[in-house]
Amino acid sequence: MKIYNSISEFTNIKDNLTELTFVPTMGNLHQGHISLINLAKQYENEIISSIFINRLQFNDKNDYEKYPKSLESDIELLEKNGCDHLLIPDESILDDIKLIKAPSKSKKLCGKNRPGHFDGVLTILNRFFKLINPKISIFGKKDYQQFLLVKEFVIKNYSNIKIIGGDTIREDSGLALSSRNNLLSEKEKNIASSIYKVLCDIKSSKNLLNTELLDNKKKYLTKLGFEVDYLTICDASTLEDSFSIDTNDLLVAVAAKLGEVRLIDNILLTKL
């Protein structure tokens, strides 16, 4: 695996590269990221990943500073799993960066309490897409809203890039893999697995979706010690609240804090 520690190192060789599939990350890699690298292997292109903790997408300075870092093991993991190129830019990637304003659906779900988060995500991705010019870029569907916003942004602005979503990878307990899980104690991890159980319960009540069901599940999570940011059932493409499973695919999405750790997860309900 070739490693580029600056933009200029990468731009110097860029013209010699063949077509690329891009898997952007903020590091602290786990099997969820590796599943995206494995998905990338299904295409003929060489694989490029990036590790950059993008401060523009953190609206909480503490969260940014606390973000787990494990560069050495990240490099090892990517190398072992067949990534061909790794870009690790320094902060100067943000110099004179063109700021992107995400569309209004970025204000729902995770955007409600994290103003500017998706502006920051699209801003850095726009920079990476311009720099790398990939044929394909792959995103995990655990961050479903991010996946959707990136997909729509790319359809509008980059006709040559295809966005592909990778399924969420889970521990045996159902807990969705996340870099933030490293900040949980074993006891908290156990509690955190209830998030997926709640999503599955709602899925099994697909024919009986209503506010009462949501309120009960929220109360249940709160009782377990979560501070629920949102638990929503919404249209899977507009992200508007909806129970209309007869006509639309729906998304059940949740974000909740356990101690200081913010966890998100979701499940899709396909229309009846």
3-state secondary structure the chain: CEEECCHHHHHHHHCCCCCEEEEEECCCCCHHHHHHHHHHCCCCCEEEEEECCCHHHCCCHHHHHHCCCCHHHHHHHHHHCCCCEEECCCHHHHCCCCCCCCCHHHHCHHHCCCCCHHHHHHHHHHHHHHHHCCCEEEEEHHHHHHHHHHHHHHHHHCCCCEEEEECCCECCCCCECCHHHHHCCHHHHHHHCHHHHHHHHHHHCHHHCCHHHHHHHHHHHHHHCEEEEEEEEEECCCCCECCCCCCCCEEEEEEEEECCEEEEEEEEECCC
- The verdict on 198 binding ligand PAF (CB under 6 A) reads no
Tell me which stretch binds ligand PAF (CB under 6 A): 118-126, 190-198, 205-213, 231-239.
Answer: 118-126
- Which CB atom, from 89 or from 258, has the smaller least distance to ligand PAF? 89
Q: Are strands 2-4 and 85-87 parallel, antiparallel or unpaired?
A: parallel
- Which CB atom, from 169 or from 213, has the smaller least distance to ligand PAF? 169
- The verdict on 74 binding ligand PAF (CB under 6 A) reads no
Q: In the window 200-259, what residues touch ligand PAF (CB under 6 A)?
A: none
- The verdict on 35 binding ligand PAF (CB under 6 A) reads no
Shortest Å, Cβ 225 to ligand PAF: 26
Tell me which stretch binds ligand PAF (CB under 6 A): 23-31, 82-90, 226-234, 250-258.
Answer: 23-31
C-alpha–C-alpha distance, residues 121 and 193, integer Å = 27
141 to 180: interface string for ligand PAF, x by CB under 6 A: --x--x----------------------------------
Catalytic: 33?
yes
Shortest Å, Cβ 125 to ligand PAF: 6
Tell me which stretch binds ligand PAF (CB under 6 A): 24-32, 87-95, 160-168, 230-238.
Answer: 24-32
- Rounded to 5 degrees, what angle do the CA atoms 154, 80, 193 make? 70
C-alpha–C-alpha distance, residues 206 and 246, integer Å = 10
Q: How far is CA 90 from CA 5, 58, 106, in A?
A: 7, 17, 27
Q: In the window 124-143, what residues touch ligand PAF (CB under 6 A)?
A: 124-125, 143
Tell me which stretch binds ligand PAF (CB under 6 A): 21-29, 104-112, 155-163, 215-223.
Answer: 21-29
Look up residue 101 and give its amino acid.
Answer: K
- Which CB atom, from 17 or from 53, has the smaller least distance to ligand PAF? 53
Residue in 121, 154, 253, 256 binding ligand PAF, rule: CB under 6 A: 121
Residue in 54, 106, 181, 242 binding ligand PAF, rule: CB under 6 A: 54
Shortest Å, Cβ 246 to ligand PAF: 33
- The verdict on 25 binding ligand PAF (CB under 6 A) reads yes
Give catalytic residues, as residue numbers. 33
Question: Which residues of the chain form contacts with ligand PAF (CB under 6 A)?
Answer: 24-26, 54, 57, 121, 124-125, 143, 146
